[in-house]
Structure 1
């Protein structure tokens, strides 16, 4: 099951166990059950602190629990946690075995103090790069608090459960049987939802922070670069972000970041955060900016009710997926309408789907999905696809893909619970045509996250922040960088350079207007 290289690495990790752990399997006669048992036996051979029992009675087969020996395991895996979830398994083994987590002490204490019984169920696909963050978060909570249990469920393996609970996007989280959330979530975000008093305490503490010299709004590549450049000047620097890493967290393969042959979005986002933390930067995560108030001391009001002040501000709020804005899209988001083919594609195995958009993202999505689903219909508004020629050649070679050009998607249809069709208007004949399907993947570009700035500073007709060569926006002391600005070419490497430029511009502004603190 595990090759020699992985076994060697896992053996080294298991040497960190401080107490014996037990893996309890629930199986049947299926091939997957035999595969699971082979995995557990492989693990047990690598450490005398790991034992396996095969008499479990969990509802899911195959599945297994992880727990300290002599205790009922609180961490469960329904399915075989390989692929992106193998790291989740390794961490579950370590944390159940008493190895201390690399988590902020304040977060650990908050987890231990949670009252009430919470059973988390996380539906995943093993190809999803966002799912492990959620699985690892709830597993950590289960390892630290005896009132919390956590179960990872492989949606592709337990398709009947996916259909029963109408799970059409991953990760999807249930708590005590009720829908809790969908999409990537950190342990801090989950805690904020179940620890109701935490948000109010946090807002009060944030409002009491002293003013910054530079406050960066946004934690993506542009924001990280801006923070590092500012901190290196020795001035008081802060970063406030809704989620550190930004849209990079939703990106899978990155192969055009110069000097790095290939990487993945979450890995790059983690590296960005660790680099920023090497400097004296105050990171305020999980906070959404709602209002910018200009003045001698610029104020940024947050959705939590907190308020931060700074002598200069760098806006690096990035962009989000563009929506079709047609009837039914919002109603069926997460119920058949999706935006991440890598994450949600496995849930549509053997089904019919559409991809909206004929650029590189759309064609790549159609190619990936064609290997999983029964049929892909790619719909493009223009008279021809805009993707690179090499991608178009690959697409046209696939037998289960239909390409429709000069088509305007007009409506998403469903039965009230999930998508069952879409309609589009032919731009050649004006006919409205219905396509029956089970999933729609929208890949039509990005929108800047600048809605909260309308009426405050100068925006382009596309909603992008207008900036000059130094990153200066239309308000003195306010700078901007990255995908939220008029800078052309929305690329990670371009955003990083723009973040550095804006930071140097902000520092120049500070030394010309007042001595830095």
Structure 2
């Protein structure tokens, strides 16, 4: 089950287990049960003085196992094998159950422990989903910290009948007390905030009470993180307000073109961005969405950023690095069937369509790469591209054309995503040359048509291009004094991580130059 190298690494981690706990397995005669037993026996053997294994569990979901600390009533269960991307989640659950402290802010831990009520979470994940571990780890931690929280982590591939019965077509999918709670990537802070209804008001008051910053960065992607590091190194008071630190990088799978880093993935890169930023004296305010920018009333005055939760932050200079999001195709059926057959992440949700027919909308690099990945999992892929030829790199196009279960339609306009019984059942497109309409029966549609900048909240305040991008000069300056911008939300011609990071550094240096040349009244 685990090779020797992985056993050695796991053994080193398990040395951090401080408190005894039990692994209680509920097994049947399936191959997955045999693999689970082998995995649990390996774990127990590596720390036999602290970990006990029992196989007398009688849970209805088989195979599954619980982690039960001695003297605790915590309820955390893994149904199916937590391997692949979820092996890290298993290791962390073992450490936390064994008393090793989590790397979570103390106030978040207090907030989890203070939750009152009965919270029975079920989270469905796939082993290839890079968005799932954050949710799995968050809910696992909550179950370990608060006895009123019960969490069951379910590997969809091992419980296909459940997945079908519940109509799950995207992961991670979370149920609370039997009802849909959330889908997609969420942090532990986001989940707790959704449960603790008074948190937003308390947070807003706390934010509004903060002293003004020398430099306030809105957005925590590569541009925002680079700007924060460069600002902090100047010794000035620096703050970062981010809706999700790491930004869209969190949703990127493979990164192989960031110079000096041969290969990594999005979640790891995002975590490194945050770790690097936290290494400096930077006030990071996560889960904060900007709602309005109010320019300084007079030259050298303070700029205000109002937040969606009602809070407000002030600064002598502001850097806008809010990034971009996946563009919607905006046809009938897209919104209605989102997460019910309409998906945006082939790596996460592709395995849910194993053996089924799917489509990809978009013929750029993202679309062609998605079609290639899906072709190895699903029965058939139909790729639909609006232009008269695919826009992806030639090597990708050649690979796609070599696959026997892929059909390519160029010069094709998607007109509707159809469905029945609450889920997708087809895709309609029109041949732009002949006007002929086509209907392709299928179970899933993956939208891969580029990005749209997160700048709606800035309309009427800073100058935007016809595409909604913030207009900047070579120094990252906008048309508003003291307000700079960087990254994918701007008119920079290429949307790349390395370019965004460089633009963030440029904006921070320019903003610092602005600060030393302007006086701010007391």
Alignment of 1:197 onto 2:198? yes
Alignment of 1:359 onto 2:360? no
Take 1:247 and 1:115, find their aligned partners in 2: how far apart are those partners?
Answer: 33
Point out the more displaced range, 8-17 or 62-71: 62-71
CA-CA distance at 1:44 after TM superposition: 1.0
Alignment of 1:65 onto 2:66? yes
Does the CA contact (< 8 Å) of 1:510 and 1:516 recur in 2? no
Which aligned runs of 4 or more in structure 1 are off by greater than 2 angstroms? 69-73
CA-CA distance at 1:388 after TM superposition: 1.1
Corresponding pairs, count: 517
2:507 matched to which residue of 1?
A: 502
1:309 matched to which residue of 2?
A: 314
1:100-149, Cα deviation, whole Å (9 max, x unpaired): 11211111111111111111111111111110111000111111111111
Alignment of 1:425 onto 2:430? yes
2:31 matched to which residue of 1?
A: 31
Alignment of 1:399 onto 2:400? no
Alignment of 1:482 onto 2:487? yes
CA-CA distance at 1:73 after TM superposition: 5.5
Take 2:32 and 2:13, find their aligned partners in 1: how far apart are those partners?
Answer: 26
Take 2:77 and 2:345, find their aligned partners in 1: how far apart are those partners?
Answer: 26
2:12 matched to which residue of 1?
A: 12
Cα distance 1:93–1:27, how it changes in 2: closer, same or farther (>3 A)?
A: same
Does the CA contact (< 8 Å) of 1:235 and 1:516 recur in 2? no
1:18-54, Cα deviation, whole Å (9 max, x unpaired): 1211111111111111111111111111111112111
Point out the more displaced range, 431-440 or 159-168: 159-168
2:518 matched to which residue of 1?
A: 513
Take 2:315 and 2:254, find their aligned partners in 1: how far apart are those partners?
Answer: 36
1:3 matched to which residue of 2?
A: 3
1:46-102, Cα deviation, whole Å (9 max, x unpaired): 111112111111121111111113655511111100011001111111111111112
2:163 matched to which residue of 1?
A: 162
Take 1:425 and 1:515, find their aligned partners in 2: how far apart are those partners?
Answer: 59
Take 1:25 and 1:372, find their aligned partners in 2: how far apart are those partners?
Answer: 30
CA-CA distance at 1:368 after TM superposition: 0.5
Take 1:39 and 1:7, find their aligned partners in 2: how far apart are those partners?
Answer: 10
1:239-388 equivalent positions in 2, closer than 5 A: 239-295=240-296, 296-388=301-393
Take 1:241 and 1:409, find their aligned partners in 2: how far apart are those partners?
Answer: 34
Take 1:28 and 1:422, find their aligned partners in 2: how far apart are those partners?
Answer: 41
Point out the more displaced range, 156-165 or 193-202: 156-165
User: RMSD in angstroms over aligned alpha carbons?
Assistant: 1.2
Does the CA contact (< 8 Å) of 1:67 and 1:97 recur in 2? no
Does the CA contact (< 8 Å) of 2:375 and 2:381 recur in 1? yes
Q: Secondary structure at the match of 1:238?
A: strand
CA-CA distance at 1:158 after TM superposition: 1.1
Q: Structure 2 length as normaliser, TM-score?
A: 0.97
Take 1:8 and 1:75, find their aligned partners in 2: how far apart are those partners?
Answer: 25
Take 1:174 and 1:203, find their aligned partners in 2: how far apart are those partners?
Answer: 28
CA-CA distance at 1:393 after TM superposition: 1.6
Q: Secondary structure at the match of 1:399?
A: coil
2:103 matched to which residue of 1?
A: 102
The unaligned stretches of length 5 or more in structure 2 are: none
CA-CA distance at 1:516 after TM superposition: 11
Q: Structure 1 length as normaliser, TM-score?
A: 0.98
1:89-168 equivalent positions in 2, closer than 5 A: 89-168=90-169
1:281-300, Cα deviation, whole Å (9 max, x unpaired): 11111010011111121111
